[in-house]
A and B are shown apart, each in its own frame.
Chain A
């Protein structure tokens, strides 16, 4: 007899409900706090150059975040979001991918972006929305994207990239590309309908996508226990019929290992897979948020000790791959480099007025050309009111 319900039917004769916490997924951790490896844990295959590139990317983001949050406080950029405490999750996962695997992120994945090769200048141009910004100055700071490095442009609406990643990966499969798509999102975004839609679509249509959930405990002020009642996010993947794993997001070796295995599995079996990374959002949600209104300093201090960078640094030193004095000098030099790049980017002109109308459609529709001409005429009449663009067109 065929079973149109697509459900396993094994009958029982006493009524018994399955517990909502019947499935409890353990957390993979490889690296101990002191930089040593847990007994029995398997260190992923990692050459020195890759290991150090991972470290450099984490350090870069840590220092960039610190510097640019300060720049926002000084009013030099309008907005900023740091990823303090989550550097390992995004760098470690990106490092396990092929350079041509698509990355579709939420907004707190600068680590992955840096690992892929987004330059300091490109970060700055986007943050200052100047005319060199790949996004032509149209989106808020931190909404990065670059076709060259397969990093899909970020958008603010939460969770929308999840079903998009399923479709993107399905297209990769259809074209016979040996590439996958990784889709990052927070545990708050996982409450959106698009999470359900995206995971279910990927499972049913066998899209080789890696769903990577950053469960950092908070969605702005909302703690995870007000976000969902189940055992985190990983168990949901199982409900959609896909493999899932939970990793310590502050342990870059665990993240790297899990992502590497997930990628191999997704491509070999043409199936989606879910990784839930457990970390803590050490910083504020954004430059517009003050976490002291909803959580304690004690809690923050506790997690501050779980620093993904210092743990990894200890391991690298043990490997003989990193010298702490050289590392310190390098960090200081980077701080200066960032400051210099900031000063350059903030002096670059804003995009020209024609970029208001370009790219709405591939070619502007007549109405847009008309509106642009009217706007130019208006600006010519009141140049003092529009100093950014006045005088820059014929």
Chain B
């Protein structure tokens, strides 16, 4: 075990993956010698050479297309999009190509070896274009897997599982936690299975659910509620697609209440998918309306970021509304 922040854990995962398999290649803007603007690919070029860790021209659709081609050949490209806000030029390559590659060819071809890594989320005074959480856009696209880790140990295990996964994965990294989140991480190779939520805390009154950097936020809210005698069950979804319906439904059948938190705007956000599914599966067990604590339906603002974000106080209020309904 070693103490690592999330960036070090990601760097360690990439290092292990590249050492294990020659087919793993890391590229993106500033990923090469410089090691990435957040330093997630630090020292990888030095260790594995320019051919396997390199800078690309500044073109997200090019990065995604290139990655699709490499993966179709059978390699395992780990392509970085510098900020999730800039993944949209690659939207066509990801949605129309990556996601449909295996299906449309009848499994003649696939890009299963592919991972897109991208820093996402707010909390760093990033304004409109260094703060977005675009997971719901991709959750609407069959063929992709979507993963969001909450801490260093999870980032490493989930990233290694993503690289090893036979399906293309978009791996969203909460950049707010890159250096802020520090924890014990095994230096060995290990994977954390995709598609499985994690129950972090057992409780009986209400289920509180989030993913990524919002786990810290809901934990604060849960602690406040617990102090008032409300017993919360806390779930980290970890995988947005496929998402672990059974774990969430089982929890809600026990607690009868559900609060979902995400940083992305409310309308069309992934909480809507969870809420409607759980409403159908757990209708007779629900004691109160499912609460969604999300970003506002506006572009991510700069000066009033604090007002925008679904913080612990907003979550705490939602927990109380849910319990007191």
Contact = CB atoms under 8 A, between A and B. Distances in A.
Interface string A147-191: 100001101010010111111111110110000010000000000
Given A163-B65, A201-B66, A361-B143, A168 B73 contact: yes
Given A160-B65, A201-B59, A155 B100 contact: yes
Interface in A94-114: 102, 104
B320 to A, nearest CB: 33
B59 A197 contact: yes
Given A160-B96, A201-B56, A138 B72 contact: no
Contacts of B89: 193
Interface stretch (B103-111, B119-127, B263-271): B103-111
Interface string A188-225: 00000110111011001100000000000000000000
Contacts of B242: 365-367
B18 interface: no
The residue in A155, A168, A366 that gathers the most chain B C-beta atoms within 10 A of its C-beta is A168
B102 to A, nearest CB: 5
B74 A171 contact: yes
B61, B66, B92, B96 interface centre (most CB from chain A within 10 Å): B66
B143 A360 contact: yes
Contacts of A170: 66, 69-70
Contacts of B68: 163-164, 167
| Residue of A170, A175, A193 contacting most chain B CB atoms (<10 Å) | A170
A136 B67 CA distance: 25
A146 B108 contact: yes
A135 interface: yes
Query: Counting chain A CB atoms within 10 Å of each CB, which of B56, B103, B245 scores highest?
Result: B103
Residue of A138, A139, A164, A367 with most partner-chain B CB within 10 A: A164
A272 interface: no
A174 B57 contact: no
A394 interface: no
Q: Which of B73, B89, B96 counts the most chain A CB atoms within 10 A?
A: B73
Interface in B166-192: 166-167
A292 B311 CA distance: 62
Nearest to B96: A157
A163 B107 CA distance: 21
A204 B57 contact: yes
Contacts of A152: 72, 109
B157 interface: no
Contacts of A163: 61-62, 64-66, 68-69, 93
A86 interface: no
Interface residues of A, number: 49
Contact of A366 (B59, B102, B245): B245
B295 interface: no
Find the residue from B51, B89, B106, B246 having the highest chain A CB count within 10 A.
B106
Interface centre among A146, A160, A165, A361 (most CB of B within 10 A): A361
Nearest to A358: B107
A201 B59 CA distance: 9
Contacts of B107: 136, 358-359
A102 B109 CA distance: 12
A198 B143 contact: no
Given A136-B106, A155-B97, A164 B72 contact: yes
Contact of B104 (A138, A169, A174, A204): A138
Contacts of A155: 96-97, 100, 104
Nearest to A162: B65
A141 interface: no
Contacts of B102: 359-362
Contact of A171 (B75, B92, B103, B112): B75
Q: With a 10 A CB-CB cut-off, give which of B54, B75, B110 has the most chain A CB atoms.
A: B75
B69 A164 contact: yes
A132 to B, nearest CB: 11
B195 interface: yes
A70 to B, nearest CB: 27
Contacts of A104: 69
A196 B92 contact: no
A143 B108 CA distance: 13
Given A143-B104, A145-B109, A204-B57, A194 B245 contact: no
Interface in B29-65: 51-52, 54, 56-57, 59, 61-62, 64-65
B73 A201 contact: no
Interface string B145-181: 1000000000000000000001100000000000000
A205 B267 CA distance: 41
Contacts of A251: none
Which are the 7 A-B pairs with shortest beta-carbon distances?
A167-B69, A163-B65, A197-B62, A153-B105, A167-B66, A171-B73, A164-B69
23 contacts: A134-B105, A138-B106, A145-B109, A153-B106, A157-B96, A160-B92, A163-B65, A163-B68, A163-B93, A164-B72, A166-B69, A167-B66, A168-B70, A171-B70, A197-B62, A198-B65, A198-B66, A201-B66, A204-B57, A205-B66, A366-B242, A366-B246, A367-B245
